[in-house]
């Protein structure tokens, strides 16, 4: 199965001055195109031995400091990030023939930022997250449903308090690549790379497809 990409080009002269401004443009395009969950991103981590793992999470915010998502600190990715605090992200906007690739170190965000991710969630989602020991083996779906039911009974109406073991992570970029599919496999790949020798500034590189 092959498909030729003819949606457009990404030239240096069209690139924004910073990676965050360029991401602003492309993320706005993804939202305007009514893509399903445009903030869905593949998050790849590795354990202390370097064994890779990946899953889709929802990006809950971004700025010049990086990209933020929330999860259980006790989850598989939480354990991996504790041992090896680096990650890679991929935003797969297939309908636009685009992807954005990010790599960098990972840090926990503070309580206030974690609350800002947790608090808007519907009560049902909060209950499920609080009742589930993420990534552990369970006997059945019914067991999970019963945990949620019991927690619902024991928790006063309204928002569920954020568990201490749940919070946000920020991927602090060292590289941000903007990939635009091109005809005959001549894709455009422009990458912002942090240049520590220039005081933490950024340089732009074109990569061969």
pLDDT digit string, tens, across residues 93-105: 999 999 999 999 9
Calculate mean pLDDT across residues 111-127: 97
Give all strands (DSSP E) within 31-114, no chain letters.
40-46, 52-58, 61-63, 66-72, 86-93, 98-108
Q: Give residue 176's Cα distance to chain centre.
A: 13
CATH classification code of 12-118+164-206: 2.30.110.10
Give the span between the Cα atoms of 110 and 70, in whole angstroms.
12
The angle, 0 to 180 degrees and rounded to 10, between the axes of the packed helices 141-154 and 123-131 is 120
Residue 185 annotated among the catalytic residues of the structure: yes
Identified catalytic residue from 175, 185, 189, 206? 185
Which residues belong to CATH 2.30.110.10 in the chain? 12-118+164-206
Q: Output the CA–CA distances (angstroms, integers) from residue 29 to 24, 26, 93, 96, 103, in the order listed.
A: 9, 5, 10, 8, 22
Average pLDDT over residues 186-205: 90
DSSP state of 161: P
Measured torsion, CA atoms of residues 23, 25, 30, 31, in degrees rounded to the nearest 10: 110
User: Where does the pLDDT of residue 198 fall: very low under 50, low under 70, confident under 90, or very high at 90 and above?
Assistant: low
What number is the average pLDDT over the span 67-83?
Answer: 97
Predicted pLDDT at 141: 96
pTM above threshold 0.95: no
Is residue 82 over pLDDT 80? yes
pLDDT on residue 3: 87
Q: pLDDT tens across 138-171, in order?
A: 999 999 999 999 999 999 999 999 999 999 999 9
* Cα 15 off chain centre by: 22
Enumerate the H helices of the chain as residue ranges.
19-32, 76-83, 111-118, 123-131, 141-154
**pLDDT tens readout for residues 20-49:** 999 999 999 999 999 999 999 999 999 999
Which pLDDT value is given to residue 80? 98
Mean pLDDT of 171-183: 97
Q: What span, in angstroms and rounded, lies between the C-alpha atoms of 103 and 24?
A: 18
Quote the mean pLDDT of the chain. Answer: 96
1 has pLDDT over 90: no
pLDDT at 152: 96
Q: Is the pLDDT reported for residue 200 higher than 90? A: no
């Amino acid at each position: 199965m092959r498909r030729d990409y003819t949606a457009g080009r990404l030239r240096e002269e069209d690139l924004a001055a910073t990676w965050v401004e360029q991401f602003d443009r492309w993320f706005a395009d993804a939202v305007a195109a009514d893509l399903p969950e445009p903030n869905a991103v593949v998050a790849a981590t590795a354990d202390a031995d370097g064994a890779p793992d990946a899953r889709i999470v929802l990006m809950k915010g971004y700025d010049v400091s990086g990209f933020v998502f929330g999860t259980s600190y006790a989850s598989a990715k939480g354990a991996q990030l504790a041992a090896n605090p680096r990650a890679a992200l991929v935003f797969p906007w297939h309908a636009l023939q685009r992807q954005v690739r990010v790599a960098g170190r990972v840090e926990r965000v503070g309580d206030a930022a974690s609350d800002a991710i947790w608090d808007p969630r519907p009560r049902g989602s909060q209950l499920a997250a609080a009742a589930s020991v993420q990534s552990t083996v369970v006997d059945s779906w019914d067991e999970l449903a019963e945990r949620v039911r019991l927690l619902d009974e024991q928790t006063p109406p309204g928002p569920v308090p954020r568990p201490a073991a749940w919070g946000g992570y920020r991927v602090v970029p060292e590289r941000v690549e903007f990939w635009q599919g091109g005809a005959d496999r001549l894709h455009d790949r422009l990458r912002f790379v942090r240049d520590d020798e220039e005081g933490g500034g950024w340089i732009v590189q074109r990569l061969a497809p």
